[in-house]
Chain A
């Protein structure tokens, strides 16, 4: 039997593929807290907070601010916030993610998105990025982020009141990055994240995104309609990981599923362009999930409900207990960091025990 699965939840109301019912206000701190706590209670390993910089309905708060707000209102669930590399400065987004990891005590992730969601470019007029270089830019930003997160070694802070030595300067490193789009001197102005490196997630829908996820992501979220297409994306990601000389075990493979339970159709759930739908009664949905898990080797599922509600989702209430009964889900280790919970090791520091490296160049 296939290994038990982790569960993630994709929160993206007004994204074109997800809406919310009248009882849920995406700008209400109470409703957001309720949602995150419900998911935590139901056993989800992480909550993905999607974001959009396009002309979406004015209904969602920015993802890192939202995740930071939820950080101390939750205790165990991973909080993965989206930021679009086509519209951010690498130094800014790197410190947002590092800081989120500190305030969550190691439960932070970054959902890397890239490219223009038309007409987002119109909001960035003179600084808009040419479409053909979005992934090059994303890749360069990830290289910068990883080095900046490591720019303070774990032992850099001494904080000895007696001697007055606050830091060990030999454990703080400039990164001296000079690449195609950016030059970033470093070091970061944030202590190394508790997880060492913040968990990086990426949605995979085609060859280009599979290539990026294989090289950079800890969590690849495979979005396709059929089990066969999901398996193909999975193979692309793993091939890219091998190409980048990464251990395949270090890329966790999640399939994105859109659950449609009972009345969701009536609630006017929008249809995602490409997604693996599961629908019917809770038992039927559990059957469909089992079938998918038997067909494609996966580490987990990202549940993207068509409708977000303020009350516990039917998936949490009815489907999860059924999957637990069938021993298809991992039981969460509730005290761990997100990396520990997902079985990902805390990475070593690239600057430790090494002479300073020459300036990196863009891929």
Chain B
């Protein structure tokens, strides 16, 4: 068995994954529709031997996202950007997000087969079932399907798509199922990878099951190493019952790296980024309702919300004042975690020369997912720890501001990981499956294909 090695993807929100990343001085605020810029950034991570570029998607827009998540408000359709990026690269995997709830399996099977041919074996499907309720309004639906319905549909949908990829004139599909009647065969030749790589993300039971059965890469969102280890162990054990080996699935949590030559400089960048976040007046500390599970910024951006979270009323404090050590002493378990996290990121404390401010607590409170701030060694240590502890097989890198944070990661952290022997220095082959060490699946040559598992 070959040595386990790290895998990296780039979560490509062109304006940066930080809610105010687009306001960072060197960022390109109009990046989302500038294909030449998107190609340059893709070439940057390809030169650093990244496994893939991740093109997220949503099937609706809402201008109210502009202060919290402008990258999720509008973007290029991912098959269009994916094919354009394929034309400017040669090795990197291209992950296109597509939601079966609002697609037809024959159309989607064709598009992925086409992208796999055009990219010569680099296409990948990020299968999402859509937590986004407002998309229903754009697709003639009265309401958003519930989880069970979406996953029942998705399970059959994936089986049909795989069947179409395997089909040919001699063995067309002839699928007749609960939701789909599809004769086949597909009118695009079998994709170079056999089946384009399938990604999936999610924490619900149905989602974990779908991922364990059908995904080659799992994108996870755990913020702590403990929860990530538990998720990792659970998904790999579920996969075994489908006859899959641990190495058949790469589990890649998201990670936001803020890295610079020195720790001080990294913290300075982190503070600078946060300084652009528009905070809210005090008073309302409830959850902001927008975009439920997408809610990277679903929490109120004020001290009222912090107070509710930590169990100590700090809503009347001056945001720039140092935090009174009494607050830490009285904070609940949640609050203890928040303080530890903010201290880890900012290197500031309630005592000593570098004091935490109340504003820092707000930023800590609204932050989601795993963040690491530090010099190249510190960031590499974080990555290595998660990798060695089997909390991750690699990471989907969230670039908080683009392109500078991508340049910093590829020029500072990647070489350090290569020195440590944890990460490839060359691609082993031209296809995305090659990067993952996955063989091309044999075609299932049966006239009819039932759900696996």
Contacts and interface: CB of A to CB of B under 8 A. Distances in A.
Contacts of A60: 187-188
Contacts of A191: 32-33, 74
Contact of A96 (B36, B79, B118): B79
B93 interface: no
A185 B64 CA distance: 16
Contact of A61 (B118, B168, B278): B118
B107 interface: yes
Interface stretch (A162-170, A236-244, A256-264): A162-170
A68 B79 contact: yes
Interface in B18-59: 20, 22-23, 25, 27, 29-30, 32-33, 35-36, 39, 58-59
B12 to A, nearest CB: 15
A169 B187 contact: no
B169 interface: yes
Contacts of B81: 68, 99, 103
Interface stretch (A70-78, A295-303, A333-341): A70-78
29 contacts: A27-B188, A27-B189, A29-B87, A29-B120, A58-B188, A58-B189, A61-B188, A65-B114, A68-B81, A69-B84, A69-B86, A69-B87, A71-B35, A72-B35, A72-B39, A91-B138, A96-B77, A123-B182, A123-B183, A126-B180, A157-B30, A164-B23, A167-B70, A172-B61, A184-B138, A185-B137, A188-B74, A189-B58, A190-B76
Given A61-B188, A159-B22, A189-B75, A164 B106 contact: no
A-B interface, 9 closest residue pairs, ranked by CB to CB distance from nearest: A125-B181, A61-B114, A122-B183, A68-B83, A185-B137, A189-B61, A99-B80, A159-B29, A99-B77
Given A87-B104, A87-B107, A157-B30, A126 B179 contact: yes
B242 interface: no
A181 interface: yes
Contacts of A29: 86-87, 117-120
B140 interface: yes
Most chain B beta carbons < 10 A, residue from A54, A65, A68, A88: A65
Contacts of A102: 33, 35, 76, 80
Interface residues of A, number: 64
A126 B84 contact: no
A92 B103 contact: yes
A9 interface: no
B63 A183 contact: no
B87 A71 contact: yes
B26 to A, nearest CB: 11
B185 interface: yes
Nearest to A182: B140
Interface in A93-122: 95-96, 98-100, 102-103, 119, 122
B254 interface: no
Contacts of A100: 80
A59 interface: yes
A108 B311 CA distance: 56
A279 to B, nearest CB: 30
B102 interface: yes
B276 A164 contact: yes
A66 interface: yes
A91 B64 CA distance: 20
Contacts of B64: 169
Interface of B: 20, 22-23, 25, 27, 29-30, 32-33, 35-36, 39, 58-61, 63-64, 66-67, 70, 73-77, 79-84, 86-88, 102-104, 106-107, 110-111, 113-115, 117-120, 134, 137-140, 168-169, 176, 179-189, 276, 278
A58 B168 contact: yes
A318 interface: no
Contact of A55 (B30, B58, B179, B187): B187
A59 B188 CA distance: 6
B70 A166 contact: yes
A62 interface: yes
B79 A64 contact: yes
A88 B107 contact: yes
B140 A72 contact: no
Contacts of A89: 102-104, 139
A186 interface: yes
Most chain A beta carbons < 10 A, residue from B64, B77, B139, B181: B77
B111 A62 contact: yes
A184 B140 CA distance: 6
A247 interface: no
Contacts of B187: 52-60
